[in-house]
Amino acid sequence: MKWYKLVFKQNQPIHIGKFNWGVVSETEIFIPGQTIWGAIVNYYIMNEGISSEDKLDKLKEALKNITNFFPSFNGINILEPVYNKYGEFAYKIKEEENEKLLTEDRFRLYFVDAEFKTSIDPFSLTAKEEKLYEFEYILPAPKREFKEKIKEFNESLYWIGLLGQDNGLKDDKYLLKKGMKIYVGGDVRYGFGELELVHITEVKGDELKRWHLDKKGNFIFQESTPLLNFVEFKNSIKFSGKLKLIVEMDFLQNEPVVMDAGYYIIPGSIIKNNKNSKNNSKYKLNKGKFKKDNKDNQQSAI
């Protein structure tokens, strides 16, 4: 399997669903592999006219070896997820030989904005009563008043992750090309979510290890190294960080169907023991998650 580093430039605000707190629709601050996988699959459905179930299943399978995507100020180095000494999620920023932390609260202050929206009654085309809500989104650039505080920032936020393919991108019929535009997250019909692929580079060795990957897509234990992808939780695993319940839904059905659900250790966490090192090969990357390989359940949802 060949692995490629994909660099997307953010052209529009994006909303990656995280939580709904009452009337607040909060955004995640990284892009889960499942989300960007779905966006790429949708690109081929819309642009290549893929409609048959067989071709669609092959397309999903060909693109499933994809990581989570993290923001970058320069299109080269990702903001690496970590937890600080207070247990807060943060991003680690590399400045030449120095490193500093940008907490989630600070990142949201610089890059996340919100607007109030209201649900519309489809019959009267008027606002539904008591349906006002706040919608968060990540801006392509820091808010004007904070631009000078981020010296590392270039012209736009970039999003970086890895994709593995058995035949390599150059030989595979599902070819990713520079300039292709995908749409992630919510409100893509209303000027949100556009990412443009600006760079593709093959990666090996140390770069794969940084993502806890071997060339076959297996999980590799790395001592004291924060995770960049979700890891399926088992009682035998000791870690520092947090857990999250992840549910995969198939929205292609008339009624959404739950395809898979489970608890995962989230990016930024650190696995403390290597008790499962002999079983690493049983944990395969699948849309940003390391989970036990189950060949009978390879299909998932957009």
Which pLDDT value is given to residue 10? 97
Give me 282's structure tokens: 């049983």
- Percentage of residues in the chain with pLDDT exceeding 70? 79
Which pLDDT value is given to residue 175? 67
* Residue 80: Cβ within 10 Å count: 19
Residues pairing with 260 in the sheet: 248
* Residue 50: Cβ within 10 Å count: 15
Average pLDDT over residues 194-215: 94
Which pLDDT value is given to residue 173? 52
CATH class as words, domain 2-215? alpha beta
Lowest mean pLDDT: which of 3-7, 112-116, 174-178? 174-178
Which pLDDT value is given to residue 299? 42
pTM, to two decimals = 0.86
Q: Is residue 281 predicted with pLDDT exceeding 70?
A: no
Q: Please, is 114 exposed, middle or buried when counting C-beta atoms within 10 Å of its C-beta (0-12, 13-18, 19+)?
A: middle
Q: What tens digit of pLDDT does each residue of 225-278 get?
A: 999 999 999 888 889 999 999 887 766 566 767 777 899 999 999 998 765 555
Q: Is residue 102 predicted with pLDDT exceeding 90?
A: yes
List all residues 6 or more positions away from 245 whose beta carbon is below 8 Å from its beta carbon. Answer: 261, 262, 263, 264
Q: How far is CA 126 from CA 118, 119, 129, 174, in A?
A: 9, 9, 9, 43
Query: 35 versus 147: which is more confidently predicted?
Result: 35
Query: 287 versus 54: which is more confidently predicted?
Result: 287
Q: Is residue 165 predicted with pLDDT exceeding 90?
A: no
Which pLDDT value is given to residue 296? 38
Average pLDDT over residues 89-106: 84
Q: Is residue 96 predicted with pLDDT exceeding 80?
A: no
Q: Is the dihedral of CA 35, 40, 41, 45 positive or negative?
A: positive
Q: What tens digit of pLDDT does each residue of 24-72 get?
A: 678 999 999 999 999 998 888 888 777 777 878 888 888 999 999 999 9
Rounded-to-integer distance, Cα 298 and Cα 63, Å = 12
Q: Is residue 142 predicted with pLDDT exceeding 50?
A: yes
Domain ranges of the chain: 2-215
Phi-psi region of 39 (alpha: psi -120 to 50; beta: other; left: phi over 0): alpha
Q: What tens digit of pLDDT does each residue of 2-22 get?
A: 999 999 999 999 999 876 555
Give me 190's structure tokens: 């209303």
Rounded-to-integer distance, Cα 6 and Cα 263, Å = 27
Q: Is residue 171 predicted with pLDDT exceeding 70?
A: no
Q: What tens digit of pLDDT does each residue of 121-139 get?
A: 555 544 445 555 677 899 9
CA dihedral 217→300→66→210, nearest 10 degrees, is -50
Q: Is residue 190 predicted with pLDDT exceeding 70?
A: no
Which pLDDT value is given to residue 301? 37
